[in-house]
A and B are shown apart, each in its own frame.
Chain A
Amino acid sequence: MQKKIAIPLLLIVLLPVAGLAWLGLRMAHNERQVVAAQVQGLVHAQLQGVDEAIQAYFLELQDSLLAQLAQRPLGNESLKQLALESAQVQQVLVFAADGSRVLPAPGAALSESEKQFMQRTSALWSNPSLLTQGGPLPMAPSTSSVGSTTKKFRLSPVGKGMDKAEAGPAQSGWYAWHWNAQLHHLFWWRDPQNRVIALELAPVALLSDVITRLPNTGGDASPAQTRTRLVNGSGQTVYEWGPYQPADKERSLAMLPLSHPLASWKLEYFAPALRGGAVANTFGIVAAVLSIGLALAGLALYLYREHNRELRTAQQRVNFVNQVSHELKTPLTNIRMYAELLEAEVADGFADAPAQDGAKAHQYISVITTESQRLSRLIANVLSLGQSQKSQLRLALQAARVDDVITRCVAAFQPALDTKGITVQVDAHAGAQVMLDPEALEQILNNLVSNVEKYAAAGGAIHISSHQENDASTVEVRDFGPGIAPQDRNRIFEPFYRVSSRLTDGVSGTGIGLGIARELARLHGGDLVAQDVDKGACFRLTLHTPQA
């Protein structure tokens, strides 16, 4: 009994707490995701800005290179001079319109750096068309988009500054390639004679220029705790800025590959994870869950104690009834004994008296005897219930007839029923000799009938019907009183339950009769249930009654 109540109470406490915790965590998780998505968006925009700054640098460089080319004669000497003078350009190569080499001049002696240059660009010499596949900058205005084969090499025409050139084959662009794990760039331009002039940029100069255009740490520019890294094609950090110090293997919060011609490079963004907010959030949830859990636990404890108190009261009642029953047992035994003695005496004394007188006295005495027998049985049952409930109930099966028991019971109650003006209608169809405990059956019936007498006198009638089928006997006791509400139909079988004070006002009862009746019925291989009927109450008793 104790455990039975403890588990539901625990569930009452734990389920809402668990549900709440889950909901809270879920909410926190969602919130984090929303925040993370927003941060991602912001960071992405920021990185995009950096990419655009780098693109702007390439545009600027492209314009300056075009301007330098426009200013000078495009002869070999002049172009070599350009490579010598310019801080960015380290080598120049020129293809004739037919793809043959013009500069470095074939046949002429090459300086050491030119030899290395030839080596670096050997792929181009065997296939000059590779060069012009390196398209213009993605940001450069274009008159039409031919589409792109890959992200790295776009095939879209016309770079900025070459507006006069009509759409068609690209007039200028960037070619990027890796040599000795270093990214090299060529800016190429188709001159009016349809030659391709390509300027190789010093990787170090390019990088240095890019770095000078990227933000510094410190100053008023970036007070936020972030770190952005420019990472090259081999995964090495080339430049980084921002005051935040990421841990050794920390994963970046966001990553953005750069646009052509730095396509193999990327930007990585680091910042402290949004742990601070999450901690506060989780703390709030835990606090809420804990407080609700505490409140529920308090409530459960209260209910548990209340329930215990009720149990104790019930126990006390049982004890009380037990004691009273014990006290009643001795006088009752005496009453029975003397009633039986009296009966014998009367039989002797009235032997010579008029038959009518003798019969009457005999009848009275037999009622006293039967009633006292019933009472002692009742007391025995109460005592057994009190001791340890059903285990003490025993059946004594014998060959008997159900209808006989009904008749006996009705006879016993006849005077009381008559007094209350209740008419009895018996519909007996269970006359076969079967194995049953007539005392138990009588006790059940007595209980049912006495209930009718006590609570349903207003109905003015009681119907008792019985029938048999195979090994089962069924008895139905029906009245036309106030009936039993559906929700009470099971509870009336619980010990000490009484439907309501309204019904039981001024009526005495122990509240254990139906409980014992049901126990007996179940012991007998059947059941006792309250039936659903239009008016009044109807109890249906089934018993397992094998053929005698």
Chain B
Amino acid sequence: MKTFPRLLPRWRHLLQVALTAGLLAAHGAQAKTIDFSASLATPVVQAGKAQSAFLKVALTGFELASQGDRPLANVAIVIDKSGSMSGERIERAKEAAAMAVNGLGSNDIVAILAFDNTVDVVVPATKVSDKNRITQAIYNIQVAGGTGLFAGVSKGAAEVHKFLDKTRVNRVILLSDGQANIGPSSPAELGQLGAMLARQGISVTTIGLGTSYNEDLMTQLAANSDGNHAFVENSRDLVRIFQREFGDVGSVVAQEVELTIRLKHGVRPVRILGREGEITNGVVRLRMNQLYSQQEKYVVLEVEVPAGKAGAQMDLAAVDVSYLNMHSKSKDNLSRAVAVSFSASTEAVAQATDKKVMESAVQQVSNEMGKEALRLRDSGKVEEAKQVMEANSNYLKKQATTLGSAFAPAPALAAMETESRRQAQGLESKDNAEWNVSRKKMKEDQFKLEKQQR
């Protein structure tokens, strides 16, 4: 089940570090724990002025030693069977779902639901002991009607809830190709549903098929429940996407990850980049539903550091994480402290800059700009959107040079810059269908970057 992820170059180094750390931990203390780091992009800042700094808190899942370590799944596959799914789409969806079921073990739990205006529980939550019966039921799904997406997800979650177990990977996998039109249908409402399910320990993975689904709704639902999101333009790719999704399900090493960042007095939180979190009185709370094996998930927090004297050092924040270790089935708590020092020398500041952390921060800042450009484009301000993307590309270019060199700019950022310039052109598109596709692609990219999804 577990496949070594096809890694983007920018992760390779980090993962190797994490891997080594994970192995060391495994050898040293028997119990594996996740790799947890909290660091500033600029551990040394310019003295004498208040300025913003990026705090990155990163969590990396440990490696699963063997197949037996794989956590058990408790999954509901929710398939859109509205009229638009007819033909190849539903056939591919059935095929993908059937293959996914075939890949599960007899102790895993699966439920199959199909929805149009109403919800049909094709296979109620059950152990995967009779694969033939389940696949038969999947192939019997008939297409008709509207898109009651809210009810479909609710019922899917209810099936997962029947065997809800913290030591299992509890997940709803939603496949839809259309706009929700029965029941709550706004991205905000589905986002709330996702958040509510996240609190119950259920995440929702959304797979958007074709070009007529609502990508805002699908990404919001996935984001708030900390599931994955994928844009599948061609139904032929469904099988691959399902396999990757179930590979992910099988590689969960930690769940119920709660992150608390307590900022010291005088340090003001500016914004959380990427993830959703609650900021009250200098305390930032974040949740992640799960961590996958050997995969880094992080959050970048922009803070304002008060002016300090050169040579001085101050405590910036205390970061706590608690999570359910899927390997040891116990709750782990980890803490880190972050400090910042002040220096009068610009060189010293530049010298001390943590390039990897800075890169993540730049990526997230750039992502925010991309989202802003999308918002502008949505409200019809194509010119402004283009300007934002232009600025974004320039920002990426500058940072790539700063973090690498003029001749060899940081590769991850350079790649992003190319992508950003391409997207800027996409923004101009007058052709609705073409823009529709680029927008879905942009949403997917933004989501993946924000949630560090593979």
The reply to whether B189 and A204 form a contact with Cβ atoms under 8 Å apart is yes
The reply to whether A111 and B120 form a contact with Cβ atoms under 8 Å apart is no
Could you give, for residues 213-250 of chain A, a 1 whenever the CB lies within 8 Å of some chain B CB and a 0 otherwise? Answer: 00011110000000100000000011111110100000
A88 within 8 A of partner (CB)? yes
Q: How far is the CA of A239 from the CA of B154 in the complex (A)?
A: 11
Contact partner, B119, options A108, A207, A217, Cβ 8 Å: A217
B421 within 8 A of partner (CB)? no
**In chain B between 105 and 130, which residues have their CB closer than 8 angstroms to a CB of chain A?**
117-122, 124
Q: How far is the CA of A203 from the CA of B196 in the complex (A)?
A: 11
The reply to whether B285 and A84 form a contact with Cβ atoms under 8 Å apart is yes
The reply to whether B196 and A87 form a contact with Cβ atoms under 8 Å apart is yes
B residues within 8 A CB of A238?
182-184
Contact partner, A218, options B117, B120, B199, Cβ 8 Å: B120
Contact partner, A216, options B120, B157, B285, Cβ 8 Å: B120
A211 within 8 A of partner (CB)? yes
The reply to whether B155 and A202 form a contact with Cβ atoms under 8 Å apart is no
Give the interface size bracket for A toward B: 20 to 34
User: Nearest CB to that of A208 among chain B residues?
Assistant: B154
The reply to whether A239 and B193 form a contact with Cβ atoms under 8 Å apart is no
Q: Which of A108, A109, A204, A237 has the most CB of B within 10 A?
A: A204
User: Given A87-B196, A237-B183, A218–B151 Cβ distance below 8 Å?
Assistant: no
Q: How far is the CA of A238 from the CA of B189 in the complex (A)?
A: 12
B residues within 8 A CB of A239?
148, 150-151, 182-183
The reply to whether B199 and A86 form a contact with Cβ atoms under 8 Å apart is yes
Q: How far is the CA of A202 from the CA of B184 in the complex (A)?
A: 13
Q: How far is the CA of A108 from the CA of B157 in the complex (A)?
A: 37
Q: How far is the CA of A243 from the CA of B144 in the complex (A)?
A: 11
Interface size on B, residues (CB 8 A): 33
The reply to whether B154 and A245 form a contact with Cβ atoms under 8 Å apart is no
Contact partner, A109, options B153, B155, B281, Cβ 8 Å: B281
Q: How far is the CA of A240 from the CA of B192 in the complex (A)?
A: 21
A205 within 8 A of partner (CB)? yes
The reply to whether A216 and B118 form a contact with Cβ atoms under 8 Å apart is yes
A212 within 8 A of partner (CB)? yes
User: Nearest CB to that of B190 among chain A residues?
Assistant: A204
User: Nearest CB to that of A244 among chain B residues?
Assistant: B118
The reply to whether A216 and B192 form a contact with Cβ atoms under 8 Å apart is no
The reply to whether A204 and B192 form a contact with Cβ atoms under 8 Å apart is yes
The reply to whether A240 and B148 form a contact with Cβ atoms under 8 Å apart is yes
Contact partner, B118, options A108, A205, A242, Cβ 8 Å: A242
Q: Which of A87, A88, A243 has the most CB of B within 10 A?
A: A87
The reply to whether B182 and A240 form a contact with Cβ atoms under 8 Å apart is yes
B158 within 8 A of partner (CB)? yes
The reply to whether B184 and A204 form a contact with Cβ atoms under 8 Å apart is yes
Q: How far is the CA of A219 from the CA of B151 in the complex (A)?
A: 16
B residues within 8 A CB of A242?
118
User: Nearest CB to that of A230 among chain B residues?
Assistant: B183
User: Given A109-B281, A212-B154, A216-B119, A207–B184 Cβ distance below 8 Å?
Assistant: yes
| Number of residue pairs A-B, CB distance < 8 angstroms | 84
Q: How far is the CA of A238 from the CA of B117 in the complex (A)?
A: 10
The reply to whether B118 and A202 form a contact with Cβ atoms under 8 Å apart is no
Contact partner, B150, options A84, A111, A208, A245, Cβ 8 Å: A208
The reply to whether B155 and A111 form a contact with Cβ atoms under 8 Å apart is no
B residues within 8 A CB of A469?
none
B347 within 8 A of partner (CB)? no
The reply to whether B279 and A240 form a contact with Cβ atoms under 8 Å apart is no
A residues within 8 A CB of B158?
212
User: Nearest CB to that of A228 among chain B residues?
Assistant: B118
Q: How far is the CA of A239 from the CA of B116 in the complex (A)?
A: 11
The reply to whether A208 and B119 form a contact with Cβ atoms under 8 Å apart is no
Q: How far is the CA of A211 from the CA of B149 in the complex (A)?
A: 12
A residues within 8 A CB of B157?
208, 212
B37 within 8 A of partner (CB)? no
User: Nearest CB to that of A108 among chain B residues?
Assistant: B281
Q: How far is the CA of A84 from the CA of B154 in the complex (A)?
A: 21
**In chain A between 353 and 374, which residues have their CB closer than 8 angstroms to a CB of chain B?**
none
A85 within 8 A of partner (CB)? yes
The reply to whether A241 and B192 form a contact with Cβ atoms under 8 Å apart is no
User: Nearest CB to that of A237 among chain B residues?
Assistant: B182
Contact partner, B151, options A85, A87, A108, A211, Cβ 8 Å: A211
Q: How far is the CA of A204 from the CA of B154 in the complex (A)?
A: 10
User: Nearest CB to that of A218 among chain B residues?
Assistant: B120
CB distance from A408 to the nearest CB of B (A): 106
The reply to whether B155 and A212 form a contact with Cβ atoms under 8 Å apart is yes
The reply to whether A85 and B199 form a contact with Cβ atoms under 8 Å apart is yes
Could you give, for residues 192-213 of chain B, a 1 whenever the CB lies within 8 Å of some chain A CB and a 0 otherwise? Answer: 1100110110000000000000
B residues within 8 A CB of A88?
196
B145 within 8 A of partner (CB)? yes
CB distance from A207 to the nearest CB of B (A): 7
A residues within 8 A CB of B278?
84, 111, 113
The reply to whether A202 and B119 form a contact with Cβ atoms under 8 Å apart is no
The reply to whether B196 and A202 form a contact with Cβ atoms under 8 Å apart is yes
User: Nearest CB to that of B191 among chain A residues?
Assistant: A204
User: Given A111-B278, A204-B193, A216–B184 Cβ distance below 8 Å?
Assistant: no
The reply to whether A211 and B199 form a contact with Cβ atoms under 8 Å apart is no
B280 within 8 A of partner (CB)? yes
A residues within 8 A CB of B118?
216-217, 227, 240-243
The reply to whether A204 and B117 form a contact with Cβ atoms under 8 Å apart is no
Q: How far is the CA of A225 from the CA of B220 in the complex (A)?
A: 36
The reply to whether A217 and B150 form a contact with Cβ atoms under 8 Å apart is no
A residues within 8 A CB of B145?
245
User: Nearest CB to that of A113 among chain B residues?
Assistant: B278
Q: How far is the CA of A219 from the CA of B200 in the complex (A)?
A: 27
User: Given A217-B120, A218-B121, A239-B148, A204–B155 Cβ distance below 8 Å?
Assistant: no
Q: How far is the CA of A204 from the CA of B186 in the complex (A)?
A: 11
The reply to whether B182 and A208 form a contact with Cβ atoms under 8 Å apart is no
B residues within 8 A CB of A202?
192, 196
Closest 4 CB pairs of A and B: A212-B158, A217-B118, A218-B120, A204-B192
Give me the interface of A with B, judged by CB distance under 8 Å. 84-88, 108-109, 111, 113, 202-205, 207-208, 211-212, 216-219, 227, 237-243, 245
Interface contacts beyond A211-B155, A211-B183, A237-B182: sample of 13 additional A-B pairs, CB < 8 Å, sorted by A: A84-B278, A87-B200, A208-B157, A211-B151, A212-B155, A218-B122, A219-B124, A238-B182, A239-B150, A240-B118, A240-B151, A241-B118, A245-B144
20 contacts between A and B (CB under 8 A): A87-B196, A87-B199, A87-B200, A88-B196, A109-B280, A111-B280, A202-B196, A204-B193, A204-B196, A207-B184, A208-B153, A208-B157, A211-B183, A212-B155, A212-B161, A216-B120, A219-B120, A240-B151, A245-B117, A245-B145
